[in-house]
């Protein structure tokens, strides 16, 4: 058994973990620093972040970095895969639900909301630039976490696990060569070269039935028979997309969705 090096830290709105076999402490520190950089670039809670500046530029073409361009393209893919259920244009609805500042600062007053627009109607991306329709605004949320976990795990090497607030990718055989042990629902699974994600309504909830997972069909916090879904998939990004869509659909339709899209495993919690 080889004991992995590890880094545990706060970023992206929660706890992040990096585990690796055969890497130096400096290399893991570089990985952590990159995640902090991504947090600062992609947060909606500071006006100087690249995401906030992009939202403020709505109505015109704006230069974007390769990271933001890649995430915007991934968000359009997520919208298509999920049949519109994963829609980063929900930010105005999130704000209307009272999630206007970091969760630790508490909610603000609830206002009237409406279903968000169709993402391809308000977001266009070309090489090095993107445009939001005037009045639209986006929140990358979990899509960014799964997508970043995939990329950092690939960059760190052949035997790594990157967990970004519950969205993760596990590469290689882990400590014992069979894979990395990961909690999924009430059980532990062994993951090798696959992603996992959990989407839920419990951790960021407030008031009477309010939480951060907006249903794009209504513009309101989701209301199904599911409070949490954990999904295994070939990438962390796909696991995140599948988990969010399944939660919004509920246990019955969500199970059908996961089977149709080739999820590798899942767990529902009411």
Q: What is the pLDDT of residue 1?
A: 62
pLDDT for residue 95 is more than 90? no
DSSP state of 62: E
Distance CA 196, CA 80 (A): 20
Q: Which of 4-13, 106-115, 241-250 has the lowest mean pLDDT?
A: 106-115
- Average pLDDT, rounded, for the chain: 93
- Domains of the chain, CATH where assigned: 5-269 (3.10.520.10)
Q: What is the mean pLDDT of residues 34-57?
A: 97
pLDDT above 90: percentage of residues in the chain: 77
- Over residues 110-156, the pLDDT tens digits come to 887 889 999 999 999 999 999 999 999 999 988 999 999 999 999 99
pLDDT for residue 30 is more than 80? yes
DSSP state of 230: E
Q: What is the pLDDT of residue 157?
A: 92
Which residues lie across from 8 on neighbouring strands?
A: 17
- Assigned token pair, 232: 């295994």
pLDDT for residue 99 is more than 90? no
Strands 194-200 and 167-171: antiparallel
Q: What is the mean pLDDT of residues 87-104?
A: 88
pLDDT for residue 171 is more than 70? yes
Under a CB-based contact definition with an 8 Å cutoff, are residues 268 and 251 in contact?
Answer: yes
- Over residues 197-239, the pLDDT tens digits come to 999 887 777 677 777 788 999 988 888 899 899 999 999 999 9
From 221, 171, 218, 226, select the one nearest 193 (Cα to Cα): 171
pLDDT above 70: percentage of residues in the chain: 98
Beta-carbon contacts of residue 172 (< 8 Å; ≥ 6 apart) = 21, 157, 158, 159, 160, 180, 192, 193
Strands 228-233 and 194-200: antiparallel
- Over residues 183-192, the pLDDT tens digits come to 887 789 999 9
pLDDT for residue 105 is more than 70? yes
| Phi and psi at residue 101, to the nearest 5° | -145, 180
pLDDT for residue 96 is more than 90? no
pLDDT for residue 2 is more than 90? no
pLDDT for residue 51 is more than 90? yes
Mark out the alpha helices in the chain (DSSP H runs). Answer: 25-42, 50-56, 66-81, 91-96, 119-122, 141-156, 236-249, 251-260
Q: How far is residue 178 from each of residues 42, 158, 189, 190, measured CA to CA in Å?
A: 35, 13, 11, 7
From 134, 119, 118, 148, select the one nearest 11 (Cα to Cα): 148
DSSP, collapsed to helix, strand or coil, labels residue 127 as coil
């Amino acid at each position: 058994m080889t004991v992995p090096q590890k880094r545990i830290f706060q970023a992206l709105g929660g706890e992040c973990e990096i585990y690796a076999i055969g890497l130096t402490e400096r290399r893991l520190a570089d990985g952590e620093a990159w995640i902090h950089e991504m947090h600062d670039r992609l947060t909606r809670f500071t006006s100087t972040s690249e995401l906030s500046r992009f939202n403020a530029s709505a109505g015109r073409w704006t230069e974007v970095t390769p990271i933001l361009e890649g995430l915007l393209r991934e968000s359009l893919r997520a919208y298509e895969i999920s049949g519109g259920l994963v829609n980063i244009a929900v930010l105005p609805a999130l704000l209307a639900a009272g999630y206007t500042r970091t969760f630790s600062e508490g909610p603000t007053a609830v206002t009237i909301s409406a279903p968000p627009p169709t993402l391809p109607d308000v977001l266009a991306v070309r090489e090095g630039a993107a445009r939001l329709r005037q009045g639209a605004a986006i929140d990358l949320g979990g899509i960014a976490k799964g997508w970043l976990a995939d990329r950092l795990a690939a960059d760190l090497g052949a035997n790594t696990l990157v967990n970004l607030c519950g969205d993760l990718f596990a590469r290689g055989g882990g400590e014992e060569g069979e894979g990395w042990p990961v909690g999924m629902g009430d059980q532990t699974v062994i993951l090798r070269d696959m992603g996992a994600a959990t989407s839920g309504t419990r951790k960021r909830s407030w008031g009477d039935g309010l939480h951060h997972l907006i249903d794009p069909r209504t513009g309101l916090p989701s209301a199904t028979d599911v409070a949490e879904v954990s999904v295994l998939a070939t990438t962390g990004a796909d696991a995140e997309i599948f988990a969010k869509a399944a939660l919004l659909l509920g246990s019955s339709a969500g199970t059908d969705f996961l089977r149709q899209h080739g999820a590798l495993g899942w767990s529902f919690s009411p």
